[in-house]
Chain A
């Protein structure tokens, strides 16, 4: 299954993003960013939404983020 991972700038923004996206019916979770380089807060939000839709929503909500990627995961997390 494909997931979008958005690397966040801070834990506060990660939690704000989760709260506001969940309120819009977009299920997402916070997880530790893999192999964090130390440049961010080390947290990402994970959702099934396509990257463009997720980042458009974050932009609309004025929530900053660092980067976006898609990952394939075998097991449902």
Chain B
């Protein structure tokens, strides 16, 4: 099966990831940060190496990188950590449910108000849309760096500056952007939430919450951290404050190899490769009269949202699956984005290549789409 569903999780992974995971299982079996024996210290040293790699990648202090099970956890921890006790939050109309649902849950259960900012045709209009919604009690702005449905790149740098001007915390969902576009704390973000298993090429079960250190988060999960163990109060300093319970050492060590792969290949090169594949794909689709491509004119990360004739997107994806191609149909867990696009009823089919896809594979897929 050829995987064009890399926005859900990249596959295949770089060969080094499997080797690292194997080594983690067979050699680094201690519990990092606990116990203090050699096994524990060796595992802790490996985890620290990956933490440092991630810190360098996002231009963060090493202690401000917390490992999470995925980007959704990172977003929950950041959003609720900033706003769970009241106030107002602004999100975009392209948010994944990973950001929208925690905000909605805060509204429903805690009375935290929220607004949805409409995206404009240009960055200035989008930023102005967010800015017009700011209130005295606005605690945070949450925005995806790139839509997981269409790939639309949001003006995250400009939003970061706008938030800084107003003294509001800015949380960015970098699930689809990290590893492809330049996104670091230097851009002014307060929190970067990232998936380790997408364009950072780590194993599933890995995510990152990268903090600027400007905002202290209240916690949504407490427990053993290996530090301040005689106190009932949750550990106060990072990263341990946000890492209760035993870490996913195996996944984290695998993520380290994913990060090394991205760094060695370079995000720019991977982006170029995937953009070429998308251009090839969209060029072929544009020859098919019954195919519609969404948001072709906007700046996007390399993924393509499309529909074929009157086929429901789930049906189209199912047929392609039977022909040996993995693509995602439906709503891609992004209710707001589909409301914005007007595609809630049928969803879209999403084509998302990775560093390992080839032009020949794209050609084979376009041939298959012609047969739908």
Contacts and interface: CB of A to CB of B under 8 A. Distances in A.
A40 to B, nearest CB: 7
A64 B229 contact: no
Given A9-B237, A32-B36, A15 B45 contact: yes
B228 A39 contact: yes
A39 B41 contact: no
Nearest to A43: B36
B239 A12 contact: yes
A15 B48 contact: yes
Contacts of B37: 32
Interface residues of B: mostly helix, strand, loop or mixed? loop
B223 interface: no
Given A42-B36, A64-B237, A12 B228 contact: no
B36 A38 contact: no
A66 to B, nearest CB: 10
B89 interface: no
Nearest to A15: B48
Nearest to B240: A10
A32 B321 CA distance: 54
Interface string A3-22: 00000011111011001000
Interface residues of B, number: 23
Q: Which size class do A's interface residues fall under?
A: 10 to 19
A30 B63 CA distance: 17
A37 interface: yes
Interface string B219-236: 000000111111100010
Contacts of B33: 10-12, 41
B240 A16 contact: no
Nearest to A19: B52
25 contacts: A9-B227, A9-B228, A10-B225, A10-B235, A10-B240, A11-B32, A11-B48, A11-B227, A12-B63, A12-B239, A12-B240, A13-B63, A16-B63, A19-B52, A30-B41, A38-B229, A39-B228, A39-B231, A40-B228, A41-B33, A41-B228, A41-B240, A42-B36, A43-B36, A64-B237
